[in-house]
């Protein structure tokens, strides 16, 4: 059988059979070939055929009946999607959770199976293409190794970013783009440009814990705005907050938010730009995952509707080119571009010109679009598998988001399950998850967790997610 060389044969065979079941070619209740017949039909070993059937059993696609063989199961219902969030309406000081450091450390531990840090498996990316680009850059621009790089970054990279931004609906002047040390530096520079310690910032709820850490370091206060898993930030709630709170800026991820994976409809993105533009309140927009959204409309940025330089747009390439390139970020800060550029020069100066040349090269290659299409398909498959496992193995009443792209799931467990206790029990088995308490300034989301399903599925990884479900079920009582 033909298969991706990076995919184990048993998993490729299981995926093929699962696809036939999903399409209806194999109907519920249909009897499958024996293990021996399956191995002969597909030219694989008996052990490979057995592993494939076991994988499909674990996913709930087939069932083994004593002395009868294997049969296609009736499809299990997938978990329902969580309801809209209901954070407190008041602004509070930001205090980040100490578990965050432990989660990030454990996520990089080869002894652990990680559903923690939001990074996909390196073998899903064209890492050899990245390596060659870096090698070419080091050869062609060897002189840049002997001098300090300067902000705002090399012009060819800023021009390449400007051209890529056209796919987000944005017409950015490359002269106003600043290359940063990752997207978080870009976000932090924007916050520094538009706030003072003690100011109130509106954020999504739940929100990425990295934003909370930056806000804590800057002495800012946060007011959390409700989110709907299918539609993103509640504009009605935001408008109320703007009318009742001294909000100085809004930080949001309108496309594939972290951790809900929500995508705001285009009409809502336009309304958000107008709502803040009229009031002169800056939006700091994170577009780090926009290229992973499934359609051109979904990928459109709020910045594309901005007519007054009110939206500060930030991105990076760790989710699309390769995780190791997350250190190359960028920002175009609208009417605050000069302030952000000055802060960048004062705080960290330039980055690595050799890497910047390599990223510019990669962005201009035709293979980038092809790799994005492959990533979108792969992440969609992996997310579907994870949701099937959650439906089968997690305690009754569990809910999970159904994002249109990316590789992050937000899981809402029964209220009796403490996700921090679940995290601690999982760590004992070298499995990493992220408790929901990291994504808020309040005490909410205690029964929630974020799962990174960007790791390539293996039997070991699937069993680990089943184990998370078993432990959660025990905690549910």
409: three-class secondary structure by DSSP: strand
Q: What pLDDT is attached to residue 98?
A: 67
Residue 399 CA to chain centroid, in angstroms?
Answer: 18
For residue 29, with 0-12 CB atoms within 10 Å meaning exposed, 13-18 middle and 19 or more buried, which class applies? Answer: exposed
The answer to whether 328 and 359 are in contact (CB under 8 A) is: yes
Stretches in the chain below the pLDDT threshold 70:
1-7, 58-60, 74-77, 95-98, 107
How far is Cα 249 from Cα 292, in angstroms, rounded to an integer? Answer: 26
The pLDDT score that the predictor gives to residue 249 is 98
Helix axes 99-107, 419-428, angle to 10 degrees: 40
Q: How many CA atoms lie within 13 A of 73 on its CB side?
A: 17
3-state secondary structure of 383: helix
* CATH 3.90.1150.10 is the classification of domain 96-122+369-476: yes
Rounded Cα gap, residues 70 and 150, in angstroms = 64
Q: What is the CATH number of domain 9-72?
A: 1.10.10.10
Backbone phi, psi, residue 374, to 5°: -65, -40
* Alpha carbon of residue 458 to chain centroid: 20
Token code pair at residue 268 = 């809502």
Residue 434 pairs with which residues in a beta bridge?
450
Which token pair is 473? Answer: 């079920």
> Cβ of 146: how many Cβ atoms within 10 Å?
6
User: Parallel, antiparallel, or unpaired: how do β-strands 62-65 and 69-72 relate?
Assistant: antiparallel
DSSP secondary structure string, 33-63? PPHHHHHHHHT--HHHHHHHHHHHHHHTSEE
Q: Give, in degrees to the nearest 5, the angle at Cα 165 between 162 and 168.
A: 165
Sketch the domain layout of the chain as residue ranges: 9-72, 96-122+369-476, 126-368
Give CA 365 to chain center in angstroms.
24
Enumerate the β-bridge partners of residue 227: 233
On the question of a cis peptide bond just before residue 259, with omega within 30 degrees of 0, the verdict is: yes
Closest by CA to 99, choosing from 467, 471, 433, is 433
- CA-to-CA distance for 474 and 477, rounded, in angstroms? 5
Second-level CATH architecture of 126-368:
3-Layer(aba) Sandwich (3.40)
CB contact at 8 A, 106 and 114: yes
């Amino acid at each position: 059988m033909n298969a991706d060389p990076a995919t184990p044969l048993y998993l490729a065979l299981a995926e093929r059979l699962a696809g036939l079941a999903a399409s209806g070619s194999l109907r519920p209740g249909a009897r499958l070939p024996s293990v021996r017949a399956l191995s002969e039909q597909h030219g694989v070993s008996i052990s490979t055929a057995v592993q494939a059937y076991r994988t499909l059993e674990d996913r709930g696609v087939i069932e083994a009946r004593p002395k009868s063989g294997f049969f296609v199961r009736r499809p299990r219902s997938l978990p329902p999607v969580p309801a809209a969030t209901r954070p407190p309406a008041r602004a509070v000081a930001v205090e980040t959770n100490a578990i965050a450091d432990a989660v990030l450390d454990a996520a990089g531990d080869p002894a652990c199976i990680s559903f923690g840090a939001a990074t996909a498996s390196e073998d899903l990316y064209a890492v050899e293409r990245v390596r060659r680009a870096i090698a070419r850059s080091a050869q062609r621009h060897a002189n840049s190794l002997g001098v300090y790089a300067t902000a705002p970054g090399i012009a060819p990279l800023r021009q390449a970013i400007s051209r890529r931004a056209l796919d987000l609906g944005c017409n950015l002047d490359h002269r106003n783009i600043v290359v940063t040390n990752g997207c978080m530096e870009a976000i932090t520079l924007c916050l520094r440009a538009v706030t003072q310690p003690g100011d109130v910032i509106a954020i999504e709820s739940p929100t990425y814990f990295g934003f909370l850490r930056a806000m804590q370091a800057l002495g800012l206060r946060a007011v959390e705005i409700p989110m709907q898993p299918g539609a993103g930030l509640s504009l009605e709630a935001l408008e109320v907050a703007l009318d009742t709170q001294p909000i100085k800026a809004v930080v949001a991820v309108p496309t594939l938010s972290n951790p809900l994976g929500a995508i705001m409809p285009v009409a809502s993105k336009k309304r958000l730009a107008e709502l803040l533009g009229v009031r002169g309140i800056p939006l700091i927009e994170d577009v780090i995952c926009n290229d992973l959204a499934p359609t051109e409309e979904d990928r459109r940025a709020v910045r594309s509707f901005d007519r007054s330089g009110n939206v500060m747009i930030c991105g990076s390439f760790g989710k699309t080119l390769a995780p190791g390139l997350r250190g190359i970020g960028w920002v175009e800060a609208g009417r605050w571009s000069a302030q952000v550029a000055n802060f960048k020069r004062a705080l960290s100066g330039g980055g690595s010109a050799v890497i910047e040349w390599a990223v510019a090269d990669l962005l201009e290659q035709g293979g980038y679009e092809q790799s994005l299409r492959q990533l979108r398909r792969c992440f969609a498959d992996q997310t579907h598998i994870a949701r099937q496992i959650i439906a089968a193995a997690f305690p009754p009443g569990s809910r999970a988001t159904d994002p249109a792209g990316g590789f992050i799931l937000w899981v809402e467990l029964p209220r009796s399950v403490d996700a921090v206790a679940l995290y601690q029990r999982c760590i004992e088995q070298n499995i990493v998850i992220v408790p929901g308490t990291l994504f808020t300034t309040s005490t909410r989301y205690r029964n929630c967790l974020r799962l990174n399903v960007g790791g390539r599925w293996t039997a070991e990884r699937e069993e680990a997610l089943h184990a998370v479900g078993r432990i959660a079920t025990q905690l549910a009582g």
